[in-house]
Amino acid sequence: MIMLEKVKEAAEYLINNGIGEAKVGIVLGTGLEKLVEHISITKSISYKEIPHFPESRMDLHSGQLIFGTLAGKKVLAMKGRYHFYEGHNLQEVTFPVRVLKLLGVETLLLSNACGSVNPDYEAASLMIIDDHINMLPGNPLIGVNYPEFGPRFIDMSQPYDAELISKIEAIAKKEKIKVHKGVYVAWMGPSLETRAEYRFIKTMGADVVGMSTVPEVIVARHMGMKVAAISVITDLCDPDRLKPLDIDEVLNNAAIAEKKMTKLFLGLVEEL
Ligand code: HPA
């Protein structure tokens, strides 16, 4: 079966099983799933049950597509995402984004955890993604193009919506939350970067590095969605002072930053 048909089947299954249409889609990254607690949930379906969704390698509580109301708006939220490093190809990683579009999503908000190579960024702070560099070994649009989904060649001069970025900045100012704005590079993983790689990442013009988001943004733009994304900085990756990864510290920073990120997303959804 061609991908176009698979996406349609998955969307049809969801509609027939209590998932409704929404204009706002949200992708919640690892350790950043508490926004879900603010959603008044109408229906939640495990990725495992959805036809053609890739086999889920996430933990038990993740891997749910949630339909409900957040800040007065109907939303579709992905609790947990697929990663390239889990062994999915980039078309599989981005399959749910295509399904979201068929369920009516016009604006896609994404979150992720990342390491910072910018010395001005603090641990547990936030960065609005202003631009990205795709360093994954591929692109989700490689292969047959279905004009029904989008054009063969897509513009990437401004993948992250300027108006949404301004809105997030205004909300952050009002809520007294410090936000940076910068460049995210997608790295293959799952091994973390070496000192030489962080040095390279810095040199190439990135502020932070993570293992997700970019493929989803490419597909969202292919399908004509507006995109905004927030990175939470879980570890500082100065190549000249690199400490071994402390996973407890990473999780702790994610938890601190998550509260701020949730506020920004709530504020933004209210305004959409
Ligand atoms: N590198 C890549 N991905 C990450 C990091 C990092 O330092 N921290 C959290 N996700």
| Structure-block tokens of residue 164 | 């949404």
Which residue's alpha carbon is at the smallest distance from atom 10 of ligand 1?
114
- pLDDT tens, position by position, 9-54: 999 999 999 999 999 999 998 789 999 999 999 999 999 999 999 9
User: Ligand 1 centre from 139 Cα, in Å?
Assistant: 20
Please give the single-letter amino acid code of residue 128.
I
Is the confidence at residue 198, as pLDDT, over 90?
yes
Is the confidence at residue 60, as pLDDT, over 90?
no
- pLDDT tens, position by position, 111-144: 999 999 999 999 999 999 999 999 999 999 999 9
Give me the pLDDT at residue 57, please: 78
Mean pLDDT of 224-229: 98
Is the confidence at residue 61, as pLDDT, over 90?
no
Mean of pLDDT over the chain: 96
Does the pTM surpass 0.95? The reply is yes
Q: Which of 237, 252, 253, 258 to mutate to test the pocket of ligand 1 (most atoms within 8 A of CB)?
A: 237
- pLDDT tens, position by position, 68-79: 999 999 999 999
Which residue's alpha carbon is at the smallest distance from atom 3 of ligand 1?
210
Please give the single-letter amino acid code of residue 138.
G
Question: Which band of pLDDT confidence, cut at 50, 70 and 90, is reported for residue 62?
Answer: confident
Measured from CB, residues less than 6 Å from any atom of ligand 1 are: 113-115, 187, 192-193, 209-211, 234-235, 237
Which residue's alpha carbon is at the smallest distance from atom 7 of ligand 1?
115
User: Ligand 1 centre from 73 Cα, in Å?
Assistant: 32
Is the confidence at residue 1, as pLDDT, over 80?
yes
Mean pLDDT of 88-107: 98
| Structure-block tokens of residue 221 | 């733009």
Give me the pLDDT at residue 238, please: 93
